[in-house]
Structure 1
Amino acid sequence: MRILLTEDNIALADGLSAILRGTGHAVDVVHDGASANAVIAAENFDLVILDLNLPEMDGLDVLRSMRARQNQAAVLILTARGAPEERVRGLDLGADDYLIKPFDITEFEARVRVLLRRQAGLHSATVMYGCVSFDLKSRTFSAGNMQLDIPAREVGLLEILFMRAGKVVSKEAITQSLTAFDDDISTNAIEQYVSRLRKRLAPHGLTVKTARGIGYYLDKLPEAS
């Protein structure tokens, strides 16, 4: 999933982005409100992690501008401004959750998982399609009691398809979800990932089908339906 982290504390931003990337997410980082506002207007994100005390533009103004554009990405406010009236204001402006600094990293990770799960319309930490299950916490796929050995980039692609199982996901949406600003992924690379996933999934009754000229979707093989 693609995440925007807006944090002016460079050390904290580096640490949090490393944690998020370590769990397989594509993460972009900006350090001021004006940059955050511009990036959110131009790019698609599943989750925006937003500090409030930002230079150039306050985080609440970024949030207000974002929701005024009907941007529905999930928002986790991450700030030292913990007064009740601040939390109420942020939530009323459209934030989905509010975490006060200093915070426990495991709680931060849990809140990120919950928001991404909610954003995908899921109510459980485990998603099942056919005989394959996806654990959102560990970001692993299993068939029965066997964990599937899937490289990180392919896990990211399969996660996108799994959360929208049976629905076509455009190549553009896949590229945006898999890559941050400093990444480079070609259409050919995505086709290679799809080809490898087909081979990995076939023994478990699933495949990735092509919607010609549009994108890809996860489906069950006929004998597994």
Structure 2
Amino acid sequence: MTKSWLERWRTGRIGWHEERGNRSLRRHWRGSGRRVLVPMCGKSVDLLWLAGEGNSVTGVELSEIAVNDFFEENQLHFRQTDGDRRYEAIDIPVSIVCGDYFEFDEKGFDAHYDRGALVALPAGLRGAYAAHTSALLVPDREQLVITLEYDQDVADGPPFSVAGDEVESYWPGLVQVDAYDDIENCPPKFRDAGLEKMLEVVWKSS
């Protein structure tokens, strides 16, 4: 998993990246003044949007290429701390910790945004991811989790299809608030395989 992820960034095979950010985030996020955790963030511009809403944002990303791309493409000055693992933007409250998310142990986050982490992981790792994430969050937290649902007999991930009952088993406090067909924006390999429908499903704290 780790080797494959780094190789995708090295070769530019990042079809899941959204250049303009995620519309479901903008539609469903509520709240400011929060410490937001964004696991496996890549170079997502959603970090900028969350900061613009008045939040302090911490992303975690394995690929150093992705982290450097984020700051370079958004023309952000930054400093490196914590043994150069933490990249902190100078002018906005955004930082990215470069490393394995399962080794990230900073706690006390009161918000969690996941657009690409849960769906990036195979079934055997998703439970461990959810448990690790929950351990980093305070009990009374805001969560927005975006998943995909599609016919895995036609195509398979990553990003993977994650059923609703699986999400509910990880975070019983989440409710589904939206779902729409996003086949036009899915990575080309899915359409090439013949997939005709891919739902983007939005889960939110109740």
TM range (shorter): 0.3 to 0.5
Q: Which has the larger radius of gyration?
A: 1
> TM-score scaled to structure 1, two decimals?
0.31
Task: Return the structure number with greater strand share.
Answer: 2
